Structure 1
Amino acid sequence: MPKIARGSGEGLTYHVINRGNGRQKVFHKDADYQTFTELLADAGKRFDVSMLSYCLMPNHFHLLAQAAQTELLSQWMQWVMISHVRRYHRHYGTSGHIW
C-alpha cells in the first residue's frame, strides 16, 4: 500500500511527535524537561516557526507548531533534535540513538 502524502503549506498547524528509540526514556529529571523547553525557545529565535503548544512525556513529546515557510519546519526540527542529542550525550556520557 503506498504511503499517503502529507499536506504541507505556509501557515498550517502541524502536530509533531517523536518518541525515544525503543520507547526508552529521554527525559529523566526535571532539568531535562527544562533544557528541552529552552531548546524549543532557542529554535524559535533561529527559525520563523511558532510553537503553539507542547506536551513532554518521559519517552516522547507532542508539539503544535506553525512555520512561515514549509521548509522551515524540518530545519527547525533537525536543529532541535541534533541540539538535544548532543546535550544528552554530553550530560549522561552516552552515545548512540536517543530518538
Structure 2
Amino acid sequence: MSVLAPTPPERMVDAKGRPYFLWDEDITLDVFRRRLADPDPEVRAYYLGKLMRQAKPDDVFSFATLREIGELFPLLVRYLGHTREFWIWVLDQWKVVPRGAG
C-alpha cells in the first residue's frame, strides 16, 4: 500500500497535453519525459529540479526515483527555489543526500 497520493493521469495535463507543473513552458508530458531521460545530466537536472519545485511532492515520484534524485542532486539543487529547504530535509531524512547537502 502506497502512502503517496499522486495526481491522477487525466488531471495531470491540460487540453494541450501540458503538465500542470509546467505552466510556464509550452511542452507536452511526452517531451518532458524525454528531457528527464536526456543523455546530458544538466538537462535532466534542470527538468527534475523544475518538477521538484513546481509539482506536488507526491507527483515527483511518478517521474523519478530516489536514486535518480540523489545522483542528480548536486546539479539540480540550484533549481529548487523556495522548495530547496524542504527537499534537503526530506532527502536527508531518507538518507538520500548527506546532512547539510546543498
Query: How high is the TM-score relative to the length of structure 2?
Result: 0.30
Q: Higher Cα Rg: structure 1 or 2? A: 1
Query: How high is the TM-score relative to the length of structure 1?
Result: 0.31
| Greater helix fraction, Structure 1 or Structure 2 | 2
Q: Relative CO higher for 1 or 2, CA cutoff 8 Å, sep ≥ 6?
A: 1
